[in-house]
């Protein structure tokens, strides 16, 4: 009996060691529990759910919980509309949008969120990305904004994206064309730029505010500018017979806005963006005045406990959907009944064939999601070969720890490199662990 007990204890300890999570070359501790691409820390940049790597962090509870969509109208003249990520404490009812980068080139000026692209010492641009603190899965997102793409090479964007899975729906503005906005969508980071469609001709998008809207449902995506729908993609049209999958973005994602340097990217990116930036034409500032978010799933948010809260106090530790709406709304909201009626009409208009395809998607999409999803941590990361400049934008800082998700890519290599290193480390640990188990068995038997 004693030998069996000793063996069980030894095996348990060894297996625990063998399965310990590694954050790059280190183990995240209790005081710096959150892992992002090989670094550990306890602040929002690391623990916020769209960055934090659950599997590599101190524990399964280290990363902050994902806060889900609630209907909101965000006016950037409100105090709770925006915060620098260093100041964000994890409560989405108190902050609607955060800047992802440090140093931050995002700020609120005169009731407008402004994101600036600035020139670095090496001649490349460093921009800004601002992201909603709540995730959305289907719904209508409307933004009143203007592009900052005054010169060729400058790219501005309005995106709904899941960085970890690579699903994306976007509006993008390039300095090469100030009279239109481009629309596109991606599934699991499978980039296909031939699907890009331009809007109707608009008045100068860098001088004038326009209203841009993405209507995203399980059945279709509609891109709308100033009330005019110029593109619709139906889920049924995304069927890929080869993989037996609907290549349609359907995962919970985050709304974000950004400005970045496309002119210093790969040749294909630079050509698309309009060539090298003419810095004398600056400043390059994208502005967002307001964002309306209408969730497809009503009442999806029931409770949310901010980090560091016991969860026992409704005011501090638990937010109901209604409470969160009150906190996040900074201007008058439209009637919920009208929104619900409109959404019901949208849902009822879907044909029976598209509805039946939802059942097919649930199994095929889940299977396809077993592949590596961590290779793209910003809206531009994996486009470096053909349409990516966010890595250029974020590689300028030379500190030991990443200033943003993208800067980690530049300092530590691609996620594939990290994964390979992690696999090698895990294999070594497992081999040592098995040897220890054998030794423990021998000791137990001898005892």
Tens-digit pLDDT profile for residues 294-328? 999 876 555 566 676 544 333 333 333 444 444 44
DSSP-derived 3-state class of residue 383: helix
First-last CA distance in the chain: 10
Confidence of residue 21 (pLDDT cuts 50, 70, 90): confident
Tell me the mean pLDDT in the region 135-140: 96
Q: 17: which 2 tokens?
A: 């060691």
Confidence of residue 215 (pLDDT cuts 50, 70, 90): very high
Q: From start to end of 52-96, where are the E strands? A: 72-75, 82-84
Q: Give dist(CA 200, CA 179) in Å, integer.
A: 8
Q: Give dist(CA 376, CA 169) in Å, integer.
A: 15
What's the pLDDT at 117?
98
What's the pLDDT at 384?
39
Say what the alpha-carbon torsion angle 115, 222, 192, 124 is, to the nearest 10 degrees. Answer: -10
Q: 361: which 2 tokens?
A: 């998607």
Say what the alpha-carbon torsion angle 59, 64, 65, 66 is, to the nearest 10 degrees. Answer: -130
| pTM across the whole model | 0.69
Confidence of residue 256 (pLDDT cuts 50, 70, 90): very high
Return the higher-pLDDT residue of 443 and 206. 206
Q: Which of 12, 74, 41, 87 is nearest to 325 (CA)?
A: 74
Dihedrals φ, ψ of 202, to 5°? -120, 160
Q: Give dist(CA 175, CA 122) in Å, integer.
A: 21
Looking at the chain, the whole-number percentage of residues with pLDDT higher than 90 is 59
Exposure letters 168-193 (e unless 16+ CB within 10 A, then b): bbbbbbbbbebebbbbbbbbbbebee
| Residue 421 in this model has a pLDDT that exceeds 70 | no
Of 181-185, 305-309, 366-370, the least confident: 366-370
Confidence of residue 212 (pLDDT cuts 50, 70, 90): very high
How distant, in Å, are the alpha carbons of 74, 136, 162, 349 from that of 335?
Answer: 16, 20, 29, 22
| Mean of per-residue pLDDT scores for the chain | 75
| Residue 131 in this model has a pLDDT that exceeds 50 | yes
| Residue 235 in this model has a pLDDT that exceeds 90 | yes
What's the pLDDT at 307?
76
Count other Cβ atoms within 10 Å, centred on residue 380: 28
What's the pLDDT at 298?
76
For β-strands 197-198 and 210-216, DSSP reports them as: unpaired
């Amino acid at each position: 009996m004693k030998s069996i007990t000793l063996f069980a204890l030894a095996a348990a300890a060894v297996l625990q060691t063998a399965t310990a999570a590694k954050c790059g070359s280190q183990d995240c501790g209790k005081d710096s529990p959150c892992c992002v691409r090989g670094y550990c820390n306890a602040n929002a940049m690391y623990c916020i759910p769209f960055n934090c790597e659950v599997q590599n962090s101190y524990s399964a509870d280290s990363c902050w919980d994902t806060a889900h969509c609630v209907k909101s109208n965000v006016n950037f003249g409100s105090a709770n509309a925006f915060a620098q990520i260093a100041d964000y404490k994890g409560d989405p009812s108190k902050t609607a949008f955060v800047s992802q980068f440090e140093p931050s080139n995002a700020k609120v000026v005169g009731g407008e969120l402004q994101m600036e692209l600035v020139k670095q010492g090496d001649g490349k641009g460093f921009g800004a990305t601002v992201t909603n603190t709540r995730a959305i899965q289907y719904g209508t997102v409307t933004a009143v904004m203007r592009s900052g793409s005054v010169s060729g090479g400058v790219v501005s964007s309005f995106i709904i994206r899941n960085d970890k899975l690579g699903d994306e729906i976007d509006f993008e503005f390039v300095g090469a064309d100030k009279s239109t906005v481009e629309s596109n969508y991606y599934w699991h980071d499978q980039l296909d730029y031939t699907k890009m469609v331009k809007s109707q001709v608009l008045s100068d998008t860098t001088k004038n505010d326009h209203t841009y809207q993405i209507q995203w449902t399980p059945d279709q995506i509609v891109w709308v500018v100033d009330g005019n729908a110029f593109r619709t993609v139906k889920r049924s049209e995304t069927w890929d017979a080869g993989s037996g999958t609907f290549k349609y973005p359907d995962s919970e994602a985050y709304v974000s806005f950004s400005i970045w340097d496309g002119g210093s990217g790969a040749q294909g990116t630079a050509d698309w963006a309009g060539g090298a930036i003419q810095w004398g034409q600056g400043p390059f500032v994208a502005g967002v005045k307001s964002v309306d978010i209408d969730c497809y799933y009503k009442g999806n948010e029931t409770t949310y406990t901010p980090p560091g809260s016991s969860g026992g106090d409704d005011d501090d530790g638990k937010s109901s959907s209604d409470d969160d709406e009150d906190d996040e709304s900074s201007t008058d909201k439209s009637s919920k009944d009208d929104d619900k009626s409109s959404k019901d009409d949208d849902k009822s208009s879907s044909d029976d064939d598209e509805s039946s395809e939802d059942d097919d998607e649930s199994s095929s999409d889940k299977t396809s999601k077993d592949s590596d999803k961590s290779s793209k941590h910003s809206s531009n990361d994996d486009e470096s070969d053909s349409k990516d400049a966010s890595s250029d934008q974020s590689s300028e800082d030379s500190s030991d720890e990443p200033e943003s998700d993208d800067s980690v890519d530049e300092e530590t290599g691609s996620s594939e490199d990290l994964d390979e290193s992690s696999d090698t480390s895990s294999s070594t640990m497992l081999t040592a662990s098995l040897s220890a188990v054998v030794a423990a068995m021998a000791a137990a038997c001898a005892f």
